[in-house]
Structure 1
């Protein structure tokens, strides 16, 4: 499979500017709290004007949560770079493992600040919107990976499964006290989906005869 084409210089500069603004927005929000950060603060941190900021993001919340889109774009690139002979689910899981290895785990303080940040209603709402945005991009990558005859509905379905697993893992991480990121749970959920949810279906199969016997008695 051919690797994704490299963007031109102008596009790379735009991507770098967007990434710098997003990183500044996330860093300042973690340091100060969402209500203490303005668009002007984020723009000044990068050395651009608020107008330039608005060329990339419609709000500070979108900038803060754009790391979700960035993560999935990196997953997309890693997926398309996997060997052509590799089964699709295996390629997705391997690409995910590579991404997790590159990111590393957050510190205890980073976890605390991140959880505090997402208690802000506007940021939490934007986070959910960000998860929805990337499903289309991932579906396109899955369809491209599967080949010209891929059913786009099937690609969207698989992308939806990946996105739901991501959101469930993220919600679980927010409610836990672990210092690990959400990637290990994310990968486990995808492995369960790949196998047809065997743990869950086995429990249902075992409980069905018991319920039937109870009703018959």
Structure 2
């Protein structure tokens, strides 16, 4: 019975992932207006009712992939050596993990424009971002040996989130000739050392 339930759950996860991928692809290729339960369902060869069983809105479907991949970042952080300082763990994991999440800069810019133009996308993006933050808070609290409600893990997670967002936006807008992973690593290193006000940046 356990294996049957597990197989059923895997099929549900695969369907959810396929619907999300189709919704994301439709937005990138044809714009947000092209994403409807009908068009997404047709792309996956299921019924619109199936789409509505998995997602409450097109915005949730589009951004589900980001939410799912945030969980994998938490797993990667948990896999780091137990005695490793938290900042070291963040700098080792976050740059490459986030780079794998954001994909191409062109696609990311299209998503950012959709978020800024559409209130529902903006709201769902905040939900996705908050989910990612809570994943970071939980893992950081575990590694610090403290409660997730304490101030320190929440401040560190928020700080890392701001560094990531700043680096990703700068990269997407082509404000620097480097990789997104490199910009994230640089941003985290600057924050770890303390923002240099009129001083030389830290050596990476």
- Alignment TM class, shorter chain as reference: 0.7 to 0.9
Correspondence 1:155 to 2:153: yes
The aligned runs of 1:1-217 (5 Å cut-off) are 8-99=6-97, 106=104, 110=107, 113-114=110-111, 117-118=114-115, 120-122=117-119, 123-147=121-145, 150-152=146-148, 153=150, 154-176=152-174, 182-197=180-195, 199-200=196-197, 202=199
Instruction: State how far apart, in whole Å, the 1-side matches of 2:9 and 2:197 are.
Output: 45
On the 8 A contact 1:79/1:95 being kept in 2, the answer is: yes
Task: Measure the CA separation in 2 of the matches of 1:178 and 1:43.
Answer: 39
In structure 2, distance between residues paired with 1:181 and 1:164: 18
Give me the whole-angstrom Cα distance separating, in 1, the residues matched to 2:41 and 2:15. 11
TM-score (norm 1): 0.72
Identify the range of structure 1 (130-139 vs 12-21) with the bigger mean alpha-carbon deviation.
12-21
Going from structure 1 to structure 2, the CA distance change for 1:137 and 1:55 (only over 3 Å counts) comes to farther
Q: Contact (CA 8 Å) 1:93, 1:187: kept in 2 or not?
A: yes
Query: Using the alignment, how far apart are the partners of 2:32 and 2:99 within structure 1?
Result: 29
> Which runs of no fewer than 5 residues in structure 2 stay unpaired?
1-5
TM-score (normalised: structure 2) = 0.76
Matched residue of 2:46: which SS? coil
Q: C-alpha root-mean-square deviation of aligned residues, in Å?
A: 3.0
In structure 1, runs of 5+ residues without a counterpart are 1-7, 204-217
Q: 1: CA distance between counterparts of 2:122 and 2:179?
A: 17
DSSP 3-state at the match of 1:200 = coil
SS at match of 1:82: coil
Bigger radius of gyration: 1
1:155-176 Cα shifts (integer Å, max 9, x gaps): 2222222222223233334443
Cα drift, residue 127 of structure 1: 2.1
Structure 1 position 194, deviation (Å): 1.8
Q: Is contact 1:162-1:190 (8 Å) kept?
A: yes
1:89/1:187 CA distance change after superposition, 3 Å: same
Deviation at 1:46, TM superposition (A): 1.7
- 1-side partners of 2:180 and 2:73: how far apart? 15
Task: Rate the CA distance shift 1:171–1:84 in 2: closer, same or farther, 3 A.
Answer: same
